[in-house]
């Protein structure tokens, strides 16, 4: 059996008629930028996130960057985040001229250690970016407590957390502002690049409204230095279709994750910490395991493609060499040498999931 990590053709075969109808709707509308499709999707996604406002932008990276810009983050400021994440999290901080400050993750999770956050706060700290990594929300109660104590903003990096819940509250509703990505591999994805900024704050919404469209509220009247970062009508139309499926697709991912959990058993060194009412969205199924490289090779020989998210923590990469590291990142370093991502998407067939699970059991037998 050959099981690729991603197989986009399966989705196309299941929902192609609805997607084609969405394409046609945009085509005949004659409006391809900032039209009705985007307006409708923004309203629907804001409601899904239990938030008042949502603005579609060009990518998840732009969503993070514009969120920080809307808060006035800039040169001389520090923003606390983690190093075991996709580069966009820290790049967005650098784009503003601010400095990323990397703190360690919890010993028994892949998520930001709130105690390290508090210890890392300085007079230059302006914001915290907790990353809801792999589809699980960070410990937002503790992080918000630190932020409130020190007068800091909280920007949720929810780019991997569509459909995730934290104590029954949706990702995207837990901070001052949140960023989502709709890159093709995401749980809620478009057919290109796309992103969304979500907030309950009207003032931030109005700033973001200007920032994403050249700084203009009315055509050719510019209020601020803005950017060209808009989610186009075709992508918004695609996302409107897929949003209706998101919860049932998340349930399918949860079922696959349970089978992987059972197969790994004691070999899995980190289990999700799910408080009452919380839900892991399993954008990725990532296990910290012994003999990671050998397991990866074994699965490859059995036709199962795996990946590593992420093999090198950001603080060890050249673009971030001038960033700050608070104390050591011992847990971050340890986990980067153990993590392995198994195939995870709602289109996996039952026999494929069983084959992967059985292969894992055989390796650890």
Joined tokens for residue 50: 């239990």
Distance, C-alpha 217 to centroid of its chain: 29
Question: Which residue in 88, 89, 172 sits closest to 137, CA to CA?
Answer: 172
Distance, C-alpha 270 to centroid of its chain: 19
Question: Which residue in 29, 76, 62 sits closest to 233, CA to CA?
Answer: 29
**Would you tell me the crossing angle of helices 292-301 and 350-364 to the nearest 10 degrees?**
130
- Calculate the dihedral angle through the C-alpha atoms of 336, 193, 197, 50, rounding to the nearest 10 degrees: -90
Please, where in the chain does CATH 3.40.640.10 lie? 8-243
Cα 267 from Cα 287, distance rounded (Å): 9
pLDDT recorded at residue 273 = 82
DSSP tag of 124: T
Instruction: Look at the alpha carbons of 179, 182, 184, 188 in this order and tell me if their dihedral is positive or negative.
Output: positive
Residue 222 β-bridge partners: 216
Q: Three-state secondary structure along 137-160?
A: CCCHHHHHHHHHHHCCEEEEECCC
DSSP tag of 315: G
- Looking up tokens 């001052």 gives 176
Domain 246-364 has CATH 3.40.190.10: no
pLDDT recorded at residue 74 = 98
Distance, C-alpha 317 to centroid of its chain: 21
Helices (H), 32-139: 36-48, 60-70, 88-96, 114-120
- Looking up tokens 């700290």 gives 125
Cα 270 from Cα 290, distance rounded (Å): 11
Q: What SS3 class is residue 122? A: coil
- Looking up tokens 């067939």 gives 349
Q: What SS3 class is residue 55? A: strand
Please, where in the chain does CATH 3.90.1150.10 lie? 246-364
CA atoms within 13 A on the CB side of 88: 21
CATH class of the domain defined by 8-243: alpha beta
- Looking up tokens 């790049």 gives 91
Cα 50 from Cα 39, distance rounded (Å): 17
- Cα distances (angstroms) measured from residue 36 to each of 46, 229, 237, 305, 357: 15, 17, 9, 40, 45
The secondary element (H helix, E strand) that includes residue 177 is: strand 177-181
Please give the chain's pLDDT, 365 residues, in tens.
Answer: 999 999 999 998 999 999 999 999 999 999 999 999 999 999 999 999 999 999 999 999 999 999 999 999 999 999 999 999 999 999 999 999 999 999 999 999 999 999 999 999 999 999 999 999 999 999 999 999 999 999 999 999 999 999 999 999 999 999 999 999 999 999 999 999 999 999 999 999 999 999 999 999 899 999 999 999 999 999 999 999 999 999 999 999 999 999 999 999 999 999 888 889 999 999 999 999 999 999 999 999 999 999 999 999 999 999 999 999 999 999 999 999 999 999 999 999 999 999 999 999 999 99
- Cα distances (angstroms) measured from residue 126 to each of 59, 113, 152, 155, 216: 23, 18, 5, 11, 27
Residue 169 β-bridge partners: 166
- Looking up tokens 């008629």 gives 17
- Cβ neighbors of 218 (< 8 A, separation 6 or more) are none
Residue 3 β-bridge partners: 304
Joined tokens for residue 53: 């406002």
Instruction: Decide: 222 and 11 in contact? Cβ < 8 Å.
Output: no
pLDDT recorded at residue 116 = 97
Instruction: Decide: 125 and 152 in contact? Cβ < 8 Å.
Output: yes
Cα 151 from Cα 166, distance rounded (Å): 23
């Amino acid at each position: 059996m050959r099981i690729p990590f991603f197989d986009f053709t399966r989705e196309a075969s299941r929902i192609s008629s609805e997607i084609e109808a969405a394409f046609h709707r945009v085509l005949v509308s004659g409006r391809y930028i900032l039209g009705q499709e985007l307006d409708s999707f923004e309203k629907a996604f804001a409601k899904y996130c239990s938030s008042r406002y949502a603005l579609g932008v060009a990518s998840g990276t732009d969503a993070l960057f514009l969120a920080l810009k809307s808060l006035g983050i800039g040169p001389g400021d520090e923003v606390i985040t983690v190093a075991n994440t996709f580069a966009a999290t820290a790049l967005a901080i650098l784009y503003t001229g601010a400095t990323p400050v990397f703190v360690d993750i919890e010993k028994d999770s892949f998520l930001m250690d709130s105690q390290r956050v508090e210890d890392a706060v300085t007079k230059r700290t302006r914001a915290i970016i907790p990353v809801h990594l792999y589809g699980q929300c960070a410990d937002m109660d503790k992080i918000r407590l630190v932020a409130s104590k020190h007068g800091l903003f909280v920007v949720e990096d929810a780019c991997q957390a569509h459909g995730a819940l934290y104590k029954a509250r949706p990702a995207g509703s837990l901070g001052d502002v949140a960023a989502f990505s709709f890159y093709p591999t995401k749980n809620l994805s478009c057919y290109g690049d796309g992103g969304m900024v979500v907030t309950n704050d009207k003032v931030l919404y109005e700033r973001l409204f200007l920032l994403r469209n050249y700084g203009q509220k009315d055509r050719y009247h510019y209020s601020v230095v803005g950017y060209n970062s808009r989610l186009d009508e075709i992508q918004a139309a695609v996302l409107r279709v897929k949003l209706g499926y998101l919860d049932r697709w998340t349930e399918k991912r949860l079922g696959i994750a349970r089978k992987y959990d059972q197969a790994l058993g004691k070999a899995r060194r980190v289990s999700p910490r799910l408080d009452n009412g919380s839900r892991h969205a399993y954008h990725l199924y990532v296990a910290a395991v012994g003999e990671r490289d050998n397991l990866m090779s074994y699965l490859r020989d059995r036709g199962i493609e795996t990946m590593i998210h992420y093999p090198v923590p950001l603080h060890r990469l050249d673009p971030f060499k001038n960033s700050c590291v608070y104390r050591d990142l011992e847990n971050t370093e340890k986990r980067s040498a153990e993590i392995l991502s198994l195939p995870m998407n709602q289109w996996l067939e039952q026999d494929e999931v069983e084959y992967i699970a059985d292969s894992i059991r055989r390796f650890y037998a």
